[in-house]
Amino acid sequence: MTTIDQAFPSLKFSENFSSEKKFVDEKDSLILFDAAGIIQDVNAAALNYFKFDKNSSQSLKQKNIEVLIPNFSNIVTLPKDDKSSNHFTARTTDDRLIEITIYFTRYFENTTLYLAKINHISDSAHNAPKVLVVDDDKICRLILSRILTKKGFQCDEADNGQNAINSLTQKSYDVVVTDLEMPVLDGCKECKKWKKIEKTEKKKPIPFVLNTGHTVDGILKKRCRKCGIKKIMSKPVSWEKIRPIFEKLQIPIPIG
């Protein structure tokens, strides 16, 4: 059996394969399998995703990936090389809809290995992830909302931090994407105020993403950490910027 670390040393931050770091890390749900679909390794995040304990890692190895994803061989076409990512949707054994992304193909120790990442995706428009878009610039709100709506998200908008707090008290959201500089209440104060409400009222934490035109330097990062903002995204916004951030925050990605 081959481990993920052996086949893809970049996950331990090797400089030789820095391009791989861009797409996956140890926090993602990763599965390593061969051309026959035999599981070689799974990481802790994948075990947690499929609701297995750490002792299950050994029992899953050398089993076909269809014990986790039925009909896998009929759904997924394995790539012949490592030139592009392959995305597929499938259902797990517990009937959750997921996206399988095969990021890397590598010939290692006389066999072809595939490293795949598993993400949960929304099953229908009814339970599509809800995003609160906060920005005092109407055009910025419109652009971001259109990008997300096109991808299957449900979006509400607020033009300042205080109105965002008002929306959060009335409706549940999966994530808040907020601007920094706004009248009445800026993005950092907005997040800090809501985190205090979450703690006081024992609400489920909602991740905040900063969408800013400011330079992302050490000072801004420290400011965001202090107020509770999880991720920072630089304007102009695009789906290519949004998607990896949402994946890191484990926000379900709809089919779209």
Alpha carbon distances (Å) from 214 to 176, 235, 238, 242: 18, 8, 16, 17
The H or E element spanning position 46 is helix 44-49
| pLDDT score of 143 | 94
C-alpha to C-alpha distance for 164 and 177, rounded to whole angstroms:
10
Mean pLDDT rounded to a whole number for the chain: 84
C-alpha to C-alpha distance for 57 and 205, rounded to whole angstroms:
30
Backbone angles phi, psi at 200, to 5 degrees: -65, -45
C-alpha to C-alpha distance for 120 and 32, rounded to whole angstroms:
18
Angle at 134 between CA 124 and CA 221, to 5 degrees: 105
Tokens of 217: 């330097």
pLDDT digits (tens, 9 = 90+) for 143-168: 999 999 888 898 999 999 999 999 99
Domains of the chain with bracketed CATH = 4-120 (3.30.450.20), 125-248 (3.40.50.2300)
List b or e across 122-134, with b for residues whose CB sees 16 or more CB atoms inside 10 angstroms: beeeeebbbbbbb
The model's pTM is 0.57
Averaged pLDDT, groups of 10, the chain, 256 residues long: 75 41 66 92 85 77 89 77 67 80 83 86 68 95 91 91 94 95 96 96 95 94 96 95 92 75
Q: Centre a 10 Å sphere on the Cβ of residue 19 and count the other Cβ atoms it contains.
A: 10
pLDDT digits (tens, 9 = 90+) for 10-57: 654 333 333 444 456 667 888 999 989 999 999 888 888 887 777 777
In this prediction, what percent of the chain has a pLDDT beyond 70?
87
Per-position DSSP letters for 110-179, written without gaps between them = TEEEEEEEEEE--SSGGG--EEEEE-S-HHHHHHHHHHHHHTT-EEEEESSHHHHHHHHHHS--SEEEE-
Q: Is 84 helix (H, G, I), strand (E, B) or coil?
A: coil
